[in-house]
Amino acid sequence: MLDINGGELLILVLVAIVVIGPERMPEYAKQLRSLVVRGRDMLQDGKNTLKKEVGEEVDWSQLDPRQYDPRRIVREALNEPTPPTRAASVRRLTEAPPGQAPFDAEAT
């Protein structure tokens, strides 16, 4: 999300200490803590509301948007076996009496 590694984070903290100053640092640390706690509480309230309204028996794997990959859908559709085509007429052609040519009444 932010793509900040440990070294960059350390530099940002040092710059913040220099800019803010040691006398105002505890006040800003308390504000940051309260902001993080408020965000965590809002997230927990949202989760509880969702569980209350939707319930526990939701299958979240069905709602995963990654399953709707168009390439996968087309690939699955093309790999499906084709439905049987007029098996009854094929049976009629093979059940002709011996010595006679097969005749399909639906073809004429």
The Cα diameter of the chain in Å comes to: 110
Contacts of 76 (CB under 8 A, 6+ apart): none
Helices (H), 23-98: 25-54, 70-78, 87-94
The tens digit of pLDDT for each residue in 7-62 reads 998 999 899 889 988 889 889 889 999 999 999 999 999 999 988 988 878 787 88
The tens digit of pLDDT for each residue in 89-98 reads 454 455 666 7
pTM: 0.44
Cα separation, 35 vs 28, in Å, equals 10
